[in-house]
């Protein structure tokens, strides 16, 4: 409690001194939107304080430098339409995937970058665009930078651009960097990265992770690594649209969907209903096998909430959006397979005077069931959404959920056809979006007990697990084969050099012998 009070006092002091010591003389050098935000957003100031070890003087200097930079680069106005299209098409910078700690990956494909002083400012604005795009979405969640230096050489070295990226995290986006993973840095760049280490400073040196094909999996799983890094990710960058791999696949489209798999879908829904001790004909008709969402009607929601959320993690924090208050604010807590905590509760509260339509999407549609996933909320009321794991899957740190909401006209209906039409017509800028990530609570049971339970209750390996392991083994085998080929080539080279040296020695011996004669 004392620590929270101390932090609140530091935030208050920082805000007060900024307003009295910096704002009067430099108001024309700041964007008014940033000034307004620093007067209201405690978390933003706290991030600056953390990065400057709670030293208020240093924090104020950092805020001053950051705000002047934000105005120079017009960060608050950066958008897709404000930047040249070729920057997006180039594929040198983008967000995609997560590391093993659940942090978003910010890729810098160095081989696609060319040094050009005339274009440098636009490229720097492009970096700022991506970082601001991420910061507005994730509200302070750090990310991991991947410097992919495969197939690069001296022509790709641009120390000024690298320094800018580092400064973005050192000054402009404090406390947003978890680590920098450098993949296959050419030996010729060793001297250059000694300079980079100096820019980072002693506190950030530990964030540098130099890796090769065999080591990069220590930080990033094969699921988010391309094949040339030893992974199985089939993602290929393209534009348009803007890369947002979080939610490319919706949980379920609006309204009933009839497919060839309808019969099988019905069986799947019936099985789920038995587990919950209930049956719903409406759910069965509206289910789709490839989706992770089952629609339920409003009269059923109140009856089902108690049984569905018996083991659900209670929400403790609230995100206060303009249309909905969402609880929890940031994370859904699931247990590991050993704990068996497979359900979470999301509470939506309509804070407007109109009906608010909402829908839920996820990055892992095969894993989860969400009830309801596409519905509406009356003014001043709350609705419970039950998120449950399905089919023996386990939650992972990389899983994400997206809640989308928009106000409806009073004349609009709230049935499935009306909602489907509404989402087709609603403008993008009228839609509120909020993202939730998953947190996995590890088991505290002894490992021996866990093994016994697994041996009796669930199969130790699923077909999917075995398939993934087989792919990994094939990748390892390929890497070993490449190493063997390199060794054989090196041995052949040594033999050739040895023969060459023997020939030279013989020739020298012959010359000395003929001279004596």
Residues constituting the chain: 517
Going from N- to C-terminal start, the domains of the chain cover 1-76, 85-229, 319-440
* Closest residue by Cα to residue 16 from 77, 72, 63: 63
* Closest residue by Cα to residue 373 from 387, 390, 359: 359
Q: Which of 179-193, 209-223, 380-394, 484-498 has the highest mean pLDDT?
A: 209-223
b/e 429-458 (16+ beta carbons within 10 angstroms → b): eebbebbbbbbbeebeeeeeeeeeeeeeee
pTM over 0.85: no
Question: What are φ and ψ of residue 211, in 5° steps?
Answer: -135, 165
* Burial of residue 168 (number of CB atoms within 10 Å: 0-12, 13-18, 19+): buried
| Mean pLDDT for the chain overall | 77
- Cα 503 from chain centre: 60
User: SS3 for 302-330, per residue?
Assistant: HHHHHHHCCCCECCCCCEECCCEEEECCC
Query: Is the pLDDT score of 262 beyond 70?
Result: no
- At 290-299, the pLDDT tens digits run 333 333 333 4
* Closest residue by Cα to residue 380 from 348, 418, 406: 348
- The span from the CA of 323 to the CA of 339, in Å, is 35
Q: Of the ranges 106-115, 191-200, 385-394, which one carries the lowest mean pLDDT score?
A: 191-200
319-440 has CATH 3.40.50.300 classification: no
* Closest residue by Cα to residue 242 from 33, 428, 103: 428
Beta bridge partners of 402: 361, 435
Q: What is the pLDDT of residue 337?
A: 59
Residues 6+ positions from 440 with CB-CB distance below 8 Å: 334, 335, 336, 394, 395, 396, 397
Handedness of CA 219, 223, 227, 230 (dihedral sign): positive
Q: What is the pLDDT of residue 463?
A: 53
Radius of gyration, CA atoms only, the chain: 28
- The span from the CA of 389 to the CA of 132, in Å, is 32
Query: Is the pLDDT score of 75 beyond 80?
Result: yes
Q: Say whether 319-440 and 85-229 share the same fold.
A: no
Q: What is the pLDDT of residue 146?
A: 95
Instruction: Please indicate whether residue 225 or residue 421 has the higher confidence score (pLDDT).
Output: 225
Contact criterion met (CB below 8 Å) for 453 and 338: yes
Beta bridge partners of 182: 147, 210
Contact criterion met (CB below 8 Å) for 358 and 376: yes
Residue 105 to residues 102, 148, 224, Cα–Cα distance (Å)? 9, 11, 9
| Residue 51 DSSP class | H
Q: What is the pLDDT of residue 402?
A: 87
Query: Is the pLDDT score of 265 beyond 80?
Result: no
> What average pLDDT does this structure show over 72-86?
91
Query: Is the pLDDT score of 147 beyond 60?
Result: yes
Contact criterion met (CB below 8 Å) for 145 and 177: yes
Query: Is the pLDDT score of 421 beyond 60?
Result: yes
Instruction: Please indicate whether residue 389 or residue 323 has the higher confidence score (pLDDT).
Output: 323
| Residue 22 DSSP class | I
Portion of the chain with pLDDT greater than 70, in percent: 75
Query: Is the pLDDT score of 205 beyond 80?
Result: no
Q: What is the pLDDT of residue 162?
A: 86
Q: What is the largest CA-CA distance in the chain?
A: 116
Class of domain 85-229: alpha beta
Q: What is the pLDDT of residue 231?
A: 92
């Amino acid at each position: 409690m004392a620590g929270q009070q101390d932090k609140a006092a530091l935030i208050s002091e920082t805000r007060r001194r900024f307003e009295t010591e910096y704002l009067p003389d430099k108001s024309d050098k700041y964007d008014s939107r940033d000034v307004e935000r620093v007067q209201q957003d405690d978390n933003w100031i706290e991030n600056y304080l953390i990065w400057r070890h709670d030293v208020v003087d240093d924090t104020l200097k950092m805020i001053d430098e950051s705000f002047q930079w934000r105005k120079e680069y017009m960060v608050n106005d950066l958008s897709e339409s404000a930047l040249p299209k070729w920057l997006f098409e180039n594929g040198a910078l983008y967000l995609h995937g997560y590391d093993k700690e659940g942090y978003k990956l910010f890729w810098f494909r160095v081989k696609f970058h060319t040094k050009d002083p005339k274009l440098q400012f636009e490229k720097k604005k492009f970096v700022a665009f991506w970082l601001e795009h991420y910061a507005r979405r994730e509200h302070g969640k750090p990310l991991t930078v991947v410097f992919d230096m495969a197939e690069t050489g001296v022509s790709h070295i641009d120390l000024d651009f690298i320094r800018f990226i580092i400064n973005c995290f050192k000054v402009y986006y404090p406390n947003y960097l978890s680590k920098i993973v450098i993949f296959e840095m050419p030996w010729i760049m060793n001297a250059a990265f000694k300079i980079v280490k100096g820019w980072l400073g002693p506190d950030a040196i530990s964030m540098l992770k130099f890796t090769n094909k065999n080591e990069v999996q220590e930080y990033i799983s094969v699921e988010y690594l391309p094949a040339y890094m030893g992974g199985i990710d089939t993602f290929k960058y393209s534009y348009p649209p803007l890369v947002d791999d979080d939610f490319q696949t919706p949980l379920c489209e609006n309204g009933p969907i009839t497919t060839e798999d309808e019969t099988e879908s019905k069986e799947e829904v019936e099985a789920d209903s038995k587990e919950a001790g209930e049956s719903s004909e409406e759910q069965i008709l509206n289910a789709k096998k490839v989706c992770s969402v089952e629609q339920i009607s409003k009269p059923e929601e109140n009856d089902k909430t108690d049984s569905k959320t018996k083991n659900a993690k209670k929400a403790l924090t609230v995100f206060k959006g303009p249309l909905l208050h969402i609880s929890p604010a940031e994370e859904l807590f699931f247990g590991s397979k050993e704990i068996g905590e497979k359900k979470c509760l999301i509470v939506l509260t309509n804070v407007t005077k109109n009906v608010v339509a909402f829908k839920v999407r996820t990055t892992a549609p095969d894993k989860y069931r969400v009830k309801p996933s596409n519905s509406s909320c009356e003014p001043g009321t709350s609705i419970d959404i039950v998120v449950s794991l399905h089919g023996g899957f386990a939650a992972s740190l990389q899983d994400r959920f997206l809640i989308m909401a928009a106000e409806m006209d009073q004349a609009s209906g709230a049935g499935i056809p009306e909602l489907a039409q509404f989402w087709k017509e609603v403008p993008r800028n009228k839609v509120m979006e909020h993202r939730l990530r998953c947190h996995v609570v590890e088991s505290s049971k002894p490992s021996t007990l866990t093994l016994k339970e697994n041996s009796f209750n669930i199969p130790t390996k699923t077909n999917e697990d075995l398939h993934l392991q087989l792919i990994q083994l094939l990748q390892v085998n390929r890497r070993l084969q490449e190493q063997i080929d390199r060794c054989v080539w090196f041995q052949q080279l040594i033999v050739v050099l040895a023969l060459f040296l023997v020939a030279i020695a013989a020739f020298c011996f012959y010359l000395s012998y003929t001279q004596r004669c």
